[in-house]
Structure 1
Amino acid sequence: MQTVPVHIDLTTEPGAPDHPNEDYCSVALPALGHGGCLVLLDGVTPPAGDDGCVHSVHWFTARLGGALGELSVSRRDMTLEEILAEGVARTAEAHSSTCDLSHPRTPQATVVLARWDEESVQHLVLSDSTLLLERADGALVPVQDERLDTLPSPVPELRAAVRALPDHTPLPQREAAVREYMDAVESLRNTDEGFHTAAADPAVARLAVTGSTPRADLRSLTALTDGATRWVDRFGGTWAGTLDLVRTRGTAHLVQAVRDLEHAVPYPRGKRHDDATAVHVVL
């Protein structure tokens, strides 16, 4: 069997040098054949206070990410939805005897999964990480879970209020507005009317965005955590521009470009920097 070369470009950087990187990314390429898989997780940093767990977020993402990668390679008979459910169940079992997994702040993460063989490329996205599918005809298809963009009131109003704050707004007032907005978002995490992340309940897998594309119809995959998608979400870039930047100058340049823009903002919304991961796979 003739192998097909796959090009991988991966960059990940913590949001702060004194804090562990809570993102996780891996790409597996079996020794023979045309198959492979990509796993990208963005661990959710909990607010200060008890989260019911003795483990760190980066422990959780490493554990879940490893399970998802192993299952994607070894269980070709399972769908990506089934793999996510099993990976969540395995990870929950690993710390259910020591931790309160019912706590709303129990470690959790966003998920991007992709798996390919000579026939097709399957994908799965849960929460606010992004997968870009570059088609062979040049079209670009962003795959996103849009629930965070459609949260009910008062989130849209609070978000608009934060964005409308004048630059000269006193810092305490700015921080209070951001905190009120973030608290409103947090109250909707893993609720029926809100949005979902992979935590301890395997049933969340059925809520993921999934799909499949013929392998011959795709040129590349680009997976991004929201620390990297700030290039689009906060700084006015486009998905086409993101792909062009990654393809011509590399994922490290994209992450550095985001960092440069973050440094230039005098009054950031929320944390100035976030863990940022970008991986580009040319099929």
Structure 2
Amino acid sequence: MRTELVSEPGDPARPNEDFASVGLPASGQGGTVVVLDGVTPPRGGTGCLHSVPWFTARLGGALTELTVSLPDVPLADALSVALARTADAHRETCDLSHPRTPQATVVVVRWSPGSVEYLILSDSALVVEAPDGTVTAYLDDRLARLPRSALATDAMVDADLRNKEGGFFTAAADPSVAARAVTGTLPRSAVRALAVLTDGATRWVEKFGAGDWGDLLGVVRKEGARALVDRVRTLELADTERRFLRRGKTHDDATVVLVEF
């Protein structure tokens, strides 16, 4: 098995709000990937004394520990416990009911000799290659399916869509959101390689249309995770008329984790 991890901030002057880890139990019989993409809040209050990187480090660290040390606990249950643990760490000092309390997207993948389990919450991605070369993207596409008009302002999103039925869900302070994640299990024999990516890296497919998911995984496998991030940065800089980026950030934090079995 080979693993590779690259995480680059969108702005070197700002902390990277992504979190990524690869956990390999001492037994050598499996492993875990945890990737979080912290949600950058708009200007204004969040009700919290802590930064988004503080939150993603706490939640990501808890998820890594729980998914490695408790391999029989379902991933949604592990996320629920990790969310509760993280909320308890700042419940006494912060308003966790604020719609912009620190939060993140989540992808967790855990494998054993017999299976590959996954959990996806919001718009990061899992891309899986089968032994015959077929590539499949596993996504939580609820945010992508919303009409652009509904996302016109932060106030509209927070009031009507964020962590609400008919909208989309992120990992914030409510442990029950774990039950809303997209989850599934694949036979280990059906997976030759996988990549987990935050949306700063999936821009190559989803915003710029530079290739499909199979092309993306091919770049990562053949040229490396860094090469994909570099390609995204080149496209971002070339989009001077905002044809693709529109109202989005010019550069976003970008994380890529590759696992080859």
The answer to whether TM tops 0.5 is yes
Is contact 2:99–2:158 with CA below 8 Å preserved after alignment?
no
Aligned to 2:167, which of 194, 201, 211?
Answer: 194
Cα distance between partner residues in 1 of 2:28 and 2:257 = 22
Once the 2 structures are TM-superposed, how far is the Cα of residue 210 of structure 1 from its aligned partner?
Answer: 0.4
Once the 2 structures are TM-superposed, how far is the Cα of residue 156 of structure 1 from its aligned partner?
Answer: 3.0
Once the 2 structures are TM-superposed, how far is the Cα of residue 32 of structure 1 from its aligned partner?
Answer: 2.4
Cα distance between partner residues in 1 of 2:153 and 2:208 = 20
Once the 2 structures are TM-superposed, how far is the Cα of residue 146 of structure 1 from its aligned partner?
Answer: 1.1
Structure 1 residues without counterparts, runs of 5 or longer: 1-5, 160-179
Q: Quick check: 1:210 aligned with 2:183? A: yes
Is contact 2:34–2:108 with CA below 8 Å preserved after alignment?
yes
1:266 aligned residue: 240
2:224 aligned residue: 250
Is contact 2:193–2:259 with CA below 8 Å preserved after alignment?
yes
Cα distance between partner residues in 2 of 1:261 and 1:57 = 27
The runs of 4+ residues in structure 1 deviating greater than 6 Å are none
2:259 aligned residue: 281
Cα distance between partner residues in 2 of 1:19 and 1:186 = 24
- Aligned residue for 1:67, secondary structure, equals helix
Alignment of 1:76-115 (within 5 A): 76-115=71-110
Q: Identity, % of aligned pairs?
A: 56
Aligned to 1:54, which of 26, 49, 57?
Answer: 49
1:171 aligned residue: none
Aligned to 2:8, which of 13, 17, 26?
Answer: 13
| TM-score, normalised via structure 1 length | 0.87
1:41 aligned residue: 36
Structure 2 residues without counterparts, runs of 5 or longer: none
How many residues end up aligned between the 2 structures?
255
Aligned to 2:18, which of 18, 23, 37?
Answer: 23
Residues 217/24 of structure 1: CA separation in 2 closer, same or farther (3 Å cut): same
Cα distance between partner residues in 2 of 1:231 and 1:132 = 13
Bigger shift: 230-239 or 186-195? 186-195
Aligned to 1:141, which of 136, 142, 150?
Answer: 136
Once the 2 structures are TM-superposed, how far is the Cα of residue 150 of structure 1 from its aligned partner?
Answer: 2.1
Once the 2 structures are TM-superposed, how far is the Cα of residue 157 of structure 1 from its aligned partner?
Answer: 4.1
Amino acid at match of 1:249: E
Residues 102/181 of structure 1: CA separation in 2 closer, same or farther (3 Å cut): closer
- Pairwise CA RMSD: 1.3
Is contact 2:103–2:171 with CA below 8 Å preserved after alignment?
yes
